[in-house]
Structure 1
Amino acid sequence: MLENIFISLVNPYNKEALQTLWQEIKDYYSHKNRKYHNLTHLENLYNELYLCKELIEDWDTVLFALFYHDIIYKSTRNDNEEQSAELAAQRLKEINYPEDKTERCRQMILATKSHLPVSDNDINLFTDADLSILGYNWSKYKQYYQQVREEYSFYPDILYNPGRKKVLKHFLSMSFIYKTDFFRTKYEVNAKENIRKELTKL
């Protein structure tokens, strides 16, 4: 599914680069250390965004952000979003994607670092979709946080748990986790219940 979506996305801009760009994405997201931030995450994100497609102004740019937002993901680094955004901008320049849209894509990816509300509704919808897993049923949420733990398996609990608690408490401290009515209605209540439950297990 993802390959067909990507091919349809890139085709109008640069047919020659299709397979090379897709293979690069596939290779990055299929790395053995990717337990959560992988192609399954991209599929889930696409499904969430497709359900609110009519609310999105620039569908192509949102899709490019989807494919590139976690392309660089190393759990030992704290600049993954910046690195991913720069690689996205580089690849979009190579296929002659419009400069203003490329910059919007870059900002969309950078926004996944803080998930704070911004004036651009497409960005808010994108970052909300990226957090949609927080509001899923408990079994899917549990699988998600276990996969994230595996990505940080080189850290012992004594180091990992405080950091994870800080992230979870940050979400709970927010008036709303989700910035858009669409995702807030779907997932806000359940997300906070899931986070509180996970905190009791750390």
Structure 2
Amino acid sequence: MNPLFEASWSRAWPAVSGADADPGLREQLLARYAEPHRAYHTLQHLHECLELFDQARALAQRPEEVELALWFHDAIYDVRASDNEARSAAWAVSALASASTPNDAIMRVESLIMATRHTAAPSDGDETLLVDIDLSILGADAERFDEYDAQIRQEYRHVPGLIYRFKRRGILRSFLERPRIYGTDPLHERFERKARANLQRVTA
């Protein structure tokens, strides 16, 4: 077992759910991230998110809820579907409800996961932090960014090249058009410049 995954799950699930650590649920989640059709939304992505969260934990108001939301945020991933976040959030809601977790905590975790749709501005500090962590790949070193870009293309290998390039360029340019890509000041300072350089390079 990856030490980061073990430590993170053992901390986050009991703190949020109020129940003992559930290794069976953890293994179900890890199995999802290891599905063969994934190239970017994998165990590598989950590890990178949890690793960055460890460094940024002090920025969270309810850190264990953010951490648990990271575990679930890409639990369901089907490139042909448009409701992955909703289905991932529903799984988290069901699991937490089965553990008799208080409704307010369940609703916050659900909202955190849904924030990773990136269709609206985050509504609070924890959502902002989680979204920044999910988007941190945009501000990675050029080599890792290029690997990520290739991984996304692999996930969408069924889409013809011309259509893919047109749509992908539009998505990436939408991030460039934001006044700020990262909402939390420390992650803005760490990733904003590199993210803009990466995005400008691949959308020029």
Number of residues of Structure 1 aligned to a counterpart in Structure 2: 199
2:172 pairs with one of 143, 168, 172:
168
Would you say the 8 A contact 1:125–1:180 is kept in 2? yes
| Distance in 2 between residues matched to 1:136 and 1:11, nearest whole Å | 32
| Residue segments in structure 2 that go unaligned for 5+ positions in a row | none
Letter of the structure 1 residue corresponding to residue 13 of structure 2: V
- SS of the equivalent of 1:51 reads helix
- Describe the superposition over 1:108-160 as per-residue Cα deviations: whole angstroms up to 9, x where unpaired: 11111126433410110110011011011100100011011111111121221
| Distance in 2 between residues matched to 1:124 and 1:172, nearest whole Å | 17
Q: TM-score, normalised by structure 2?
A: 0.92
Letter of the structure 2 residue corresponding to residue 24 of structure 1: Q
- Give yes or no for the alignment of 1:144 onto 2:184: no
Deviates more, 1:110-119 or 1:183-192: 110-119
Q: State the percentage of identical aligned residues.
A: 30
Task: Look up the match of 2:106.
Answer: 102
Calculate the aligned-residue CA RMSD, in Å.
1.4
| 1:8–1:49 CA distance, 2 compared to 1 (3 A) | closer
1:133 pairs with one of 102, 127, 137:
137
Would you say the 8 A contact 2:118–2:131 is kept in 1? no
Deviates more, 1:185-194 or 1:114-123: 114-123
- Describe the superposition over 1:137-190 as per-residue Cα deviations: whole angstroms up to 9, x where unpaired: 100100011011111111121221111011011111111111111111111111
| Distance in 2 between residues matched to 1:177 and 1:86, nearest whole Å | 27
| Distance in 2 between residues matched to 1:50 and 1:23, nearest whole Å | 21
Letter of the structure 2 residue corresponding to residue 62 of structure 1: V
Task: Look up the match of 1:2.
Answer: 5
Cα offset for 1:4? 3.3
Alignment of 1:37-186 (within 5 A): 37-114=41-118, 116-186=120-190
Q: TM-score, normalised by structure 1?
A: 0.93
| Residue segments in structure 1 that go unaligned for 5+ positions in a row | none
Cα offset for 1:58? 0.6
